[in-house]
Chain A
Amino acid sequence: MNETITRVATDIGGTFTDLVSFEFDPNTGRSRVRTAKVETTPPDYEIGMIDVIRKAGVDLAQIDFLAHGTTVVINVLTERKGVKVGLITTEGFRDTLEIARGNRPDFFNLHYRKPPPFVPRYLRRELPGRMDYHGREMRPLDISPLKRILEEFVDDGVEAVAVCFLHSYANPAHEVAAEAEIRRLCPDLPVVSSHSIVREWREYERSNTTVLSAYVQPVAENYLQRLNDKLTASGFRGSPYVMQSNCGVDSLSATARTPITMVESGPASGIWGAAELGGLIEEPNIIALDIGGTTAKCSLIENGDVRITTDYWIERDRKSAGYPVMVPVVDLVEIGNGGGSIAWVDDYGKLHVGPQSAGALPGPAAYGRGGTDATTTDANLLLGRINSEYFFGGEMEADMEAVNRAVEAVGRKLDLAPMEAARGIVRIANNNMVNALKLVSLNRGFDPRDFTLVAFGGGGGMHAVELAQELGVTKVVVPADAAVFSAWGMTMSDFRRDYIVTHLTDFEPHTADSIEAGFRELEEAAREQFASEGVPRSNLAFKRFGKFRYQNQEHTTEIELGDQRITASRVPAVREGFESAYEREYTYRLDAPVELVGLHLTATAQVGKLSIERRPPSGRDASAAMQATRSVDFATDGIHDTAIYRGSLLEVGMQIGGPAIIEESGSTTVVNPNCSAEVDGFGNIVMSIGI
């Protein structure tokens, strides 16, 4: 009998579909990793998925655990390709979705455009009935108008219904009743209630989240169904897990009911990968940085824990209020600054990089597809950091003439020589990223020097050392297979759900019992839900968090509470934990009562076990992987003759002194002059930065 455990992740992105397969034999302790990449195949994405599995030579019948990540939800939202939704809400509040929060971030602009609601007014309908904020019924729900409303919805071509009532986070009874009646009246009409997605207050955010979930639900369900059918037909014997925004995976059936939870799954899997890698290399405090083609994303991992937030918005920036999606999402900062970000000079002679991106088409000037704008990638080519002779691992020829022209044009506007301009582009891009990295670290009171920077994505290794120098970080890790690191993170993820509920109470010894009861209720709900997915109760692991604040404040600080009971005697220690975290972030404490505002429970179940082995040093010298030397411009660190290494030839234990460049097919790692690199037992490039 074959006892090898095989975990596979497939990650469908806009351009490529990636695969990472991890095989582990518990008898011998041997493991094997395979990766593969094919082009994404819209609109029949499942074809690309089967292609990549075949290309990697993985036997579908042997897969024990299959995780799947997809951008389908975020694509449906940004391309406005969802279905027509009708909203049922509380009497007096049908305009909540349209009133939104009334804010105008672009505040000098009198021509601001308010984001229009996803459901127009005539499809927003009301039912009498009210709960108060304690969840007590003030007026009973009257479901009698539903019949007529649904008839009109059907006549108007509504394809999914969202239900969101005031204070349903405190008591969902009215939503439960309305949803049941809708299912009874229209069994074929998909319906989503707010309480099944969000149990927190703020009616606009909850309504919008429910509406967006309904908007994407039929499309996503159809996608997941086709995928599952195709996998089954191709010999897969299990059911795939779907990557979520909270860094975990969930079952296909649960995801099909509320697919909105997938919205930020791509970035989440990379950040989870960084957290898992941290565990592997015994670095629990990580700053994760993912530099892709159009954006850079960063997140802070403290003590092995990723931070989860429900304060997530799409299409929100300085020019627009955007739309809230109140689901558990990994807390990250994203900026429009990637390899394809365009460098431009404004009317007043100032250089900017991003947020506009050259995208895949025309792409950077170097692609030779007609792009005339200089991008960060073009600047890196001109400076010799990216090898023009080994562009995309030699799969593409860099159009250096176009690069020269594009960077020269930027230089002319700044009165700078092309090389100076290229240095400027890289410095501005780095500065944008440093400011984002400070947002997740310094601005929250963390000292970056206590952290290891894990940099991945196509551009992670290119910029990591310079960013680390700016931040004072002394250790940088560029993971093995950095370009498919998101898929790697997926193979490492657990079956996970985050339960976040509003629970407002004074935090005093006498309230401990009611708080404990609140957590128990959540745990019981989690056990039941997981049991219905076939996960035994004993396999579940819980972690509790509380959201605290000083009385009268609005924003909260989340504190880990472990898995022990909340008792009156623990209250002072927990309070001290809150106050010290508050002081770290905001620099002071107050002599004021503390409130608990919300409970957060994470429930995880490991699906299939595997462990990754550290390999011994090969004993060979890095010179075996050295390809050539060339002149490379390290901007503020000067121009140096630099040794070039081929990443695929590097072996465990090899050491490389800077300045050096390590080239792989999908990424380049820059080792600056004052730092050194070593390949660790897992194949990661670990760099130490001299001070």
Chain B
Amino acid sequence: MPRDLITQTVIQAGFSAAADEMFSMLRKTAMSPIIHEVLDVGTGITNAEGQLLGSGAGIPTFVGVLDKAVKRILELHGPDSIADGDVFITNDPNYGGVTHLSDIVIALPVFSEGKRIAWTASIAHWSDVGGMTPGSMSTRAVEIFQEGLRIPAVRLFAEDRPVESVMDIIAANSRLPEFTVGDLWAQVAASRRAARRIRSLAETYGLAAFDSAVERLLKEGRRRALAGLKRLPNGRYEIELEQDDGDVWRAQIDVSDSRFLVDLRGNPVQKRSPYNTSRDGAVISAQMMFKAVTDPELYANEGSFAPLEVLTEPGTIFHALGNAPHGYYFETRIRLVDMLWKCLAEIIPERLPAGHFASICGTVIAGRHPDTERNFTMVEPQMGGWGATSARNGLDCMFSSSHGDTYNCPAEICEARYGIEVGWKRLNLADKGQGRHSGGAGLSTCYRPRSRVVVAAGYSHSRKRVWGSNGGGPGGTNSLSVKRRNGHLERHAFVSDLEVDLGDEIIIETATGGGWGQKASGTAEMGDLGE
């Protein structure tokens, strides 16, 4: 009875276990802190055609990336040329990379009985892939070429052996080659480990049982999504939202019992600045919100997103083409999530929190360690305030909705690893969204470099305040400031190549969350415990 229900369940559990195993291995072996602490990494198992079967813990924005990457690899190379022992690598959104050049996808086809049965793939943010600025994310980039090495979905291994020339090109194009080599091997080893597990599932239970487990899994994902969709009110909902730069973005969401259509046409044309995303990236934003309102469990496969359709217009910021730069695609993507979230919160305010600080607040500090004299690049997102809900106050100091099992860097490790003193790290209570329930606290951090460093940063919601919901008040704004030795204070939102000297302070303040509901007159606000 190889096709029985129980066997299928056992095989399906094997897919998740394999993706988890990859994840935990990557975390333990990676070199770049943004991989092992921030967990800016995703792992996934797809079927032979690149349909997502399971993904490792990490961050939601990387669920649904790897399937797109594998499909593109299949398209570019043709299924027949792909052999056992191959490993592919890509980072370019035009070649299945989905995000930006800093994120490296490594994908390994799994064979059993001479047949391709699955892929094990991972995506991870490397600390430096070259380009015009340390950390590879310049706000001044006008073309993708300035953002680092483009790897157009090429073979990294053939017959289980590295293609040395490709390895050499990759190492030569990084300011931190020992990191790229370490991260590359970590990803390859993780793929191999998971492949062994997938292969053993097929060998133990046979290919027929394997295939029927896959088929049933995808069906289940679809059923779960449709069941969640039925709990949303049908209708057509529209939103327009002004951004910090004065642009107005718009979206229309059509909800029916069988379809969730997100229309993103009519948005600003793509820019000669790094705030564009590929169409795949925009789809992932829509997937995240769709998942959050239909089936917020960790469970996700290709079927989970089946009822979702996304319309984009080529040549716009949500569907960038050609040589457009993508370095800060993640700000565009989280702002898109924020807009779709607000659109839905207006329809179902009880089911969604008010707005959160809605920015990665990506912060890159590069320099030379004053004690070890080794080069370092610190690449970190920031925590911020989350919005209140119908039931409670917002959460204090959490990473953004684009993140997940992401860990901040302890001050003690920061001081040792980068030689940067952390002056303070505390809750930022400024401009908390008021209401029946109030928004959560943001973060206030002070870094004091002990030698000259170069800073790059991207903070959205630096001008427009975080939105409140159902009558709740707005939250705060995000900012990165530099307090110079002479006392002069500079406030920044998007900046690159910012020089900070010994004696200067970098001060990060992230937004408090939005409030929920109107404060009943005459009653005191329900404050946070113990404040």
Task: List residues of A whose CB falls within 8 A of some B CB.
Answer: 91-96, 98-114, 116, 120-123, 132-133, 166-167, 169, 201-205, 318, 347-351, 414, 416, 423-424, 427-428, 431-432, 435, 438-439, 443, 504, 550-555, 586-588, 590, 592
Contact = CB atoms under 8 A, between A and B. Distances in A.
17 contacts: A94-B426, A98-B427, A99-B408, A99-B443, A102-B399, A104-B404, A104-B406, A107-B58, A108-B288, A108-B292, A166-B411, A167-B415, A169-B412, A201-B412, A552-B179, A554-B30, A586-B28
Among A100, A113, A350: residue with most chain B CB under 10 A: A350
Contacts of A414: 5
A94 B58 CA distance: 28
Given A114-B395, A202-B410, A443-B21, 9 more contacts: A92-B424, A99-B383, A103-B405, A109-B297, A111-B296, A120-B530, A443-B193, A555-B29, A588-B189
A203 B410 contact: yes
Contacts of B9: 350-351, 428, 431
Contacts of B220: 348-350
Contacts of A111: 296, 353, 389
Interface of B: 5-6, 9-10, 13, 17, 21, 24-25, 27-31, 33, 36-37, 39, 57-60, 178-179, 181-182, 185-186, 188-189, 192-193, 220, 223-224, 227, 288, 291-292, 295-298, 300, 341, 352-353, 383, 389, 395-399, 401, 403-408, 410-413, 415-416, 421-427, 443, 446, 528-531
Contacts of A106: 296, 298, 404
Given A122-B531, A201-B410, A133 B415 contact: yes
A559 to B, nearest CB: 15
A490 B100 CA distance: 55
Nearest to A91: B424
B182 A590 contact: yes
Contact of A554 (B37, B403, B528): B37
A552 B424 CA distance: 25
Contact of A105 (B25, B57, B188): B57
A202 B185 CA distance: 27
A445 B66 CA distance: 26
A639 to B, nearest CB: 14
B423 A92 contact: yes
A107 B528 CA distance: 24
Contact of B6 (A114, A202, A428): A428
A109 B289 CA distance: 10
A98 B410 contact: no
Contacts of B410: 201-205
Nearest to B32: A552
A109 B36 contact: no
B13 A435 contact: yes
Contacts of A423: 6
A550 B24 CA distance: 17
A438 B182 contact: no
B4 to A, nearest CB: 8
A547 to B, nearest CB: 13
Contact of B413 (A201, A347, A431): A201
B412 A103 contact: no
Nearest to A122: B530
A98 B59 contact: no
A578 to B, nearest CB: 13
Contacts of A132: 415, 421
B36 A107 contact: no
A205 to B, nearest CB: 8
A553 B26 CA distance: 11
Contacts of B529: 116, 120
6 nearest A-B pairs in the assembled complex, by CB-CB distance = A107-B404, A120-B530, A92-B424, A133-B416, A555-B28, A102-B383
Contacts of B397: 95, 98-100, 102
Contacts of B396: 98-99, 114
Given A133-B415, A553-B36, A103 B406 contact: yes
Given A93-B425, A110-B352, A555 B6 contact: no
Contact of B36 (A349, A351, A554, A588): A554
A607 to B, nearest CB: 37
B291 A102 contact: no
Contacts of A104: 398-399, 403-406
A107 B59 contact: yes
A99 B182 contact: no
A431 B242 CA distance: 52
A349 B389 CA distance: 32
A105 B403 CA distance: 9
A92 B223 CA distance: 50
Nearest to A120: B530
Contacts of A435: 13, 17
Contact of B10 (A431, A439, A588): A431
A93 B424 contact: yes
A592 B406 CA distance: 27
A348 B383 CA distance: 36
Given A101-B408, A586-B189, A592 B403 contact: no
Contact of A202 (B224, B295, B401, B412): B412
B497 to A, nearest CB: 24
Among B10, B395, B412, B529: residue with most chain A CB under 10 A: B412
B416 A92 contact: no
A203 B416 CA distance: 13
A431 B178 CA distance: 40
Among B39, B297, B396, B427: residue with most chain A CB under 10 A: B396
Given A102-B407, A553-B30, A348 B25 contact: no
B9 to A, nearest CB: 6
A121 B412 contact: no
B406 A203 contact: no
B412 A133 contact: yes
Contacts of A169: 412
Given A101-B407, A435-B13, A108 B6 contact: no
B25 A121 contact: no
Given A202-B410, A435-B13, A586-B29, A348 B223 contact: yes
A587 B195 CA distance: 13
